[in-house]
Amino acid sequence: MVEAAAARAIRLLDLVPYLVSHSGISVTSLAKEFGVGKEDMLKDLNLLFMCGLPGYTPLELIDISFDDEVVVVRDPQNLNAPRNLTESESIALRIALAALLETTPRTSPNYVKIVELTNKISSAFANQVPQGAIEFTADREKATIEAIERALNENLDIEIEYVNRAKDEITRRVVTPRYVSLGSHRSSLSGYCHSARAERSFVLSNIAAIKLVQRTQIENVISVNAEDALTVEISVTDADANFVSSNRDLLTEIGKNRYQLEVFQDEWIVRSIMSEPVGLQLVKPTTVREEVKKRAEDALHLYGR
Amino acid sequence: MSSAKTERLVNLTMALLATQRYMRKSEIFRKVAGYSGSEETKERMFERDKDDLRALGIEIEVASHDPLFEDEPGYRIRPDTYRMPTADFSLEELGILTTALGLWLDSGLEDLAVSAARRFRSFGEISDVDLFASPNTSEFSEAGLLEITKALAHRSRIDFDYKKPDAASSQGRSVYPLGLSAWKGSWYLVGEDLDRDDIRVFKLSRITSKIEVTKKRDMYQIPEDFSVRDYLVMHAKEELRITALVMKGRAHSIRSKAITIEALADSDLSQDWEKVTYSAENLESALREALWYSDSLIVQSPEDVRRAVIDSLMHVVANHG
């Protein structure tokens, strides 16, 4: 247990370098920064006035001047630079950086910055605790759900970086969240997307990043035009195909191992068929069927076939 | 509150920081303001001051065998250990550091983090950084983290009661902490269990008592190559490491889990393609991902995945001919 006098001494030692870089700060702001009352801060400043280097003539004392509005340090003596991190503090910092890195999308420019900073920190602060001794793995989906819940409770919107796997693109969208559906295969968020100006649903695992923003007024909803949908017929040789179990809600059975479904993105059905080659065949329409074949041939070409 | 002691501690720190040579006790008593009374009183004052400063993390160097001092110990504080290293942090980097430390607010490490952040702010006026990341701060409020952090920092033994999942009651454990891991909301301590003479993993939520940290420091060393991953079963899961050529700006969900992304050395492909390594859960999911992105990703290794992709693509062609 650190004694009160010692804790106060540390505060005074840290006060001086802070004043060096914040010359002219008010007593009130200073008190707030250091988490003490204004009266205590004035006492601290009065005490600092009497501290200094051996000799203790005006030449060796810390020289500060202050009134209510402005605090200025004129001579910090040898307390001009901030105090080093203790080993405990540097461990706390390393854990926090690891956590920040975990929740930053790897495609973000910040990811590289945080990696570089982590390396800088580990070389700047000599430490007997090796890099491998600290490890942080976040539950990203849980963090996403908690952020959405917070938005719902506080009437905020969310800004997300969303990975559209079918179109293979990343978009930034502002969404007014409505509810989250948790499923065993996939969990999703339903809400009003301000970028699309329509109700949309988002697969949680495709939300690469999320932050809370002020709520935006919802504009008129553009309704999805049913004519844009394409009717696709597929045949399944393996009834347990992943595609069937994860899209059961979309499928209408029209015969033995034959299904029909409405598709809004050609790209999605083409990729889905290709990623489950043995068990799945696209029967109709012919245009999409030919596209699947062409894609596979192009890909084989990339593999030198 | 006596301000005399505070004043003396500040003066002592400044004096020890200013001195080029080690200062003997007699010199400290003569020169540093605040030491008065009998010789014995001054000795006692100094010993306590020294302990207080060390407890606050200020390193005081002692030289006791310097012939110049005829075995009377001398003291000083090295400026390079006292001061924050001048690592040329940009204002943006300082912003990231203080944002990171902010994750500890409302946790047991709040005081540490707030003080560290304030010292980073002493480098200058830091502006807010838009990180577009929102770690779940509730993960940081686990009990016991402060004690374990301090024990790791000082290499001190800890003692606590621990209840194993299948045990009826808790048992006392004495442990040298070696590492700390957060896994999806739960914290794990990896340490040397002194009674069992083995390295064990402890889930923090199963610790049923307060954690006592021994005052003694440097009781053990953590091996340079120590890694908590080697001891945690969640990390032992066999994963497939895939190497693939990926078209620039494509296959985003592969990129978002990439382990490395490298430019290709001199080749016709280097303009449009990069070499990416990533891990997949198993062969089936590796195959599924590679086929999904088959317009922009070419698996190079392992060979069986590459082979399976080619076979599957041939199936697709045959199925849709």
Q: Which residues of chain B neighbour A17 with C-beta distances below 8 Å?
A: 119, 122
Q: How close is the nearest chain A Cα to the Cα of B168, in Å?
A: 30
**Which domain-ending residue is among A133, A154, A170?**
A133
A240 and A278 fall within a common domain: yes
CATH number at residue A69: 1.10.10.10
**CB contact A203 to B (< 8 Å):** no
Same domain as A67, residue A8: yes
Q: How far apart, in whole angstroms, are the C-alpha atoms of residue A128 and residue B155?
A: 9
What is the full DSSP assignment across B245-264? Answer: EEETT--HHHHTTEEEEEEP
Q: Is the pTM of this model over 0.90?
A: no
Report d(CA A35, CA A2) in Å as an integer.
17
Q: What is the ipTM of this complex?
A: 0.83
A107 and B252: CB-CB below 8 Å? yes
- For B127-166, what is each residue's pLDDT tens digit? 767 666 666 667 788 899 999 999 999 999 999 999 988 8
Q: At CA B263, angle to CA B258 and CA B268, rounded to 5?
A: 125
**pLDDT at res. B72:** 77
Q: What is the pLDDT of residues A168-181, one digit of tens each?
A: 888 899 999 988 88
Both A146 and A129 in one domain: the answer is no
* Phi, psi dihedrals of residue B87, rounded to the nearest 5°: -90, 15
- Tell me which chain B residue has its CA closest to the CA of residue A150: B136
- Bridge partner list, A170: A163
pLDDT of residue A1: 41
Say if the Cβ atoms of A136 and B317 lie within 8 Å: no
Gap from B266 CA to chain A (nearest CA, Å): 19
- β-partners of residue B233 are none
Contact A275 B291 (CB under 8 A): yes
Chosen domain end from A158, A180, A213: A213
Taking only the tens of pLDDT, chain A with its 305 residues reads: 456 889 999 999 999 999 999 999 999 999 999 999 999 999 999 999 899 999 888 889 999 998 878 999 999 999 999 999 999 999 999 999 998 888 777 777 788 889 899 888 888 876 788 888 998 887 778 788 888 888 888 889 999 989 888 888 888 999 999 888 877 667 889 999 998 888 888 988 888 888 888 888 776 655 555 557 788 999 887 766 778 877 777 888 888 888 988 887 788 889 988 888 677 889 888 889 999 999 999 999 999 87
Inter-axis angle of helices B145-154 and A87-102, nearest 10: 120
Q: Select from B66, B85, B79 the least CA-distant residue to B15.
A: B79
Element (H, E) at A210: strand A207-213
Task: Name the residue among B52, B44, B32 with its Cα closest to residue A6.
Answer: B52
* Per-residue model confidence as pLDDT tens digits over B273-290: 999 999 888 888 899 999
Q: Smallest Cβ distance to B320: which of A165, A292, A302?
A: A292
Fold of B147-234: SH3 type barrels. (2.30.30)
**Pick from B81, B122, B228: which is nearest to A21 by CB?**
B122
Q: Which tokens sit at B223?
A: 């091996």
Q: Is residue A232 part of a domain?
A: yes
Contacts of B288 in chain A (CB under 8 A): 242, 275-276
- pLDDT value of residue A31: 94
Q: What is the mean pLDDT of residues B51-58?
A: 90
A82 with B122: Cβ contact below 8 A: yes
- Give the residue on A whose Cα is nearest the Cα of B10: A9
Does residue B201 come out as left (phi exceeding 0), alpha (psi in the -120 to 50 range) or beta? beta
* A214 CB burial (10 A radius; 0-12, 13-18, 19+): exposed
Query: Do A100 and B100 count as a contact with CB atoms less than 8 A apart?
Result: yes
For residue A184, what are the domain limits? Answer: 140-213
Statement to judge: residues A17 and A54 lie in one domain: yes
Residue type, A224: V
User: Are A128 and A145 within one domain?
Assistant: no
| Cβ pair B181:A135 closer than 8 A | yes
Residue A177 sits in a domain whose CATH number is 2.30.30
Asked whether the beta carbons of residue B253 and residue A163 sit closer than 8 angstroms, the reply is: yes
Residue B247: which of A161, A168, A293, A297 has the closest Cα? A168
Class of domain B3-82: mainly alpha
Q: B146-181: b or e for each residue (b if 16 or more CB lie within 10 Å)?
A: bbbbbbbbbbbbbebebbeeeeeeeeebbbbbbbbb
Q: A145 and A201, same structural domain?
A: yes
The answer to the question of residue A294 being in a domain is yes
> Which member of B1, B222, B306 has the closest CB to residue A130?
B222
Domain identity same for A144 and A208: yes
List beta partners, residue B203: B188
A220 falls within a domain: no
Residue A263 in tokens: 């598709």
Contact B217, B158 (CB under 8 A): no
B64-77 tens-digit pLDDT: 755 665 667 889 99
Q: Taking CB atoms and an 8 Å cutoff, what residues of chain A touch B121?
A: 18, 21, 33
- Tell me which H or E stretch contains A282: strand A280-284
On whether residue A33 sits in a domain, the answer given is: yes
Name the segment(s) of chain B with CATH classification 2.30.30: 147-234
Buried b (16+ CB within 10 A) or exposed e, B57-77: bbebeeeeeeeebeeeebbbb
Q: Which of A13, A128, A168 sits opposite B13 (nearest CB)?
A: A13
Measured CA to CA, the distance from residue B19 to residue B77 in angstroms comes to 8
Q: Distance between CA A138 and CA A98 in Å, rounded?
A: 10
Total domain count, chain A: 4
Residue A179: which H helix or E strand, with range?
Answer: strand A169-181
Helix, strand or coil for residue A177? strand
Confirm or reject contact between A114 and chain B (CB < 8 A).
Answer: yes
SS3 content of chain B, % helix, strand, coil (to 5): 40, 20, 35
Q: For residue B89, which residues of chain A lie inside 8 Å, CB to CB?
A: 120
Same domain, A111 and A60: no
Which of A94, A95, A161, A269 is the mutation pick for testing B, counting most B CBs within 10 A?
A95
Helix (H) or strand (E) holding B236: helix B233-236
Q: How far is CA B172 from CA A201, A275, B207, B208, in A?
A: 51, 53, 10, 10
B84 with A84: Cβ contact below 8 A? yes
Strand locations in chain B, DSSP E? Answer: 23-24, 61-63, 74-76, 158-162, 171-183, 186-193, 198-203, 212-213, 240-247, 258-263, 273-280, 297-301
What is the full DSSP assignment across A88-150?
HHHHHHHHHHHHHHHTS-TTSHHHHHHHHHHHHHHHHS--SS-GGGEEEE--HHHHHHHHHHH
Distances (CA, A) of B175 to A128, B91, B191, B193, B221: 18, 40, 6, 5, 13
* Same domain for A153 and A199: yes
**Closest of A208, A176, A171 to residue A189, by C-alpha:** A176
Plot region of A76 (φ>0 → left; ψ -120 to 50 → alpha; else → beta): alpha
A151: CB partners within 8 A, 6+ apart: A157, A158, A177, A212
Same domain, residue pair A25 and A42 = yes
Across the range B106-118, mean pLDDT stands at 92
Q: Is residue A124 part of a domain?
A: yes
Last residue of a domain, one of A152, A186, A213: A213
In chain B, the N- to C-terminal Cα span, in Å, equals: 89
CA distance A139 to chain B (A): 4
Q: What pLDDT, on a 0 to 100 scale, did the predictor assign at position B68? A: 62
